[in-house]
Amino acid sequence: MMRDLQLTDELDSLLSAYHHWAKGYIPVPVCGADPMFRNAKSGRGYDSVSDVIEDELHGSTMECIDFHIGEIQEPYRAALYILARNCYTGHKVWISPRLPKDPIERGTIILEARNQLTRRLMAAGVM
C-alpha cells in the first residue's frame, strides 16, 4: 500500500515536470538558425558541473517519458496528457474531449493509462 502511494506520487511528480518541459518545446527552429548549432547550449557561467549534469539527466528523463507516452495508444495517451496538465497546474479541472463523458469510464481509462506508463517507466529505469 505504501509502495503504491510512493509510485503514485513519483509518477505525478514526473508528469508535472514532463508537462513543464513539453511546454517549452518549439517544433520549428528560429528563422535563420544554423543547423550546425541546433544542439548548442548557451553558456551560463554560474552553472557548476553538477548543475550541467543534472540538466542533461533531466532532459534525458523527459525525452524518455515523451517517447513512452507517444508509444501508448489512444485514448490512454490523451488521458496522460490531461493528467500531466492537471498535475502541473495542481487543479483537477482539465478534461479531454477524446475521453468518455462518463466519470467512471473516464476514471478507468486514466487508471489504466497510469498503470501502462508506470510499467513502461519502471522497465526503462526511470522509476
Task: Judge whether 40 lies within some domain.
Answer: no
pLDDT at residue 40, rounded to an integer: 60
Between CA 8 and CA 102 the distance in angstroms is 23
Number of domains the chain contains: 1
End-to-end, the C-alpha distance of the chain in Å comes to: 17
Task: Judge whether 13 lies within some domain.
Answer: yes
CB-based contacts of 18: which residues, under 8 Å, 6+ apart? 62, 65, 66, 69, 84
pLDDT at residue 61, rounded to an integer: 92
Please give the residue range of the domain that contains residue 75: 9-22+51-127
- The model carries a pTM of 0.75
What does each of the 127 residues of the chain score in pLDDT, given as a tens digit?
Answer: 566 667 788 889 999 999 999 987 666 555 655 566 656 666 666 667 777 788 888 888 999 999 999 999 999 999 999 999 989 988 877 778 788 888 899 889 999 999 999 999 999 988 8
